[in-house]
Amino acid sequence: ELKQTIKNTSSGLLESFRGLTVTNEDVSYIFKYTTMYLE
- CA 27 distance to own-chain centroid: 12
Residue 24 forms part of a structural domain: yes
Instruction: Please tell me whether the overall predicted TM-score, pTM, comes out greater than 0.75 for this model.
Output: no
Residue 20 forms part of a structural domain: yes
Residue 1 forms part of a structural domain: no
Residue 23: predicted pLDDT: 92
Residue 25: predicted pLDDT: 94
State how many domains the chain has: 1
Residue 22 forms part of a structural domain: yes
Nearest alpha carbon to residue 10 among 39, 30, 2, 36: 2
Residue 3 forms part of a structural domain: no
Residue 6: predicted pLDDT: 83
Taking the CA atoms of the chain, what radius of gyration do you get in angstroms? 14
- What pLDDT, in 10s, does the model give residues 1-39? 677 788 888 888 888 888 888 899 988 998 888 887 888
Residue 17 forms part of a structural domain: yes
Residue 2 forms part of a structural domain: no
Residue 4: Cβ within 10 Å count:
8
- Tell me which residue range forms the domain holding 31: 10-38
Q: What is the Cα–Cα distance from 17 to 30, expressed in whole angstroms?
A: 15
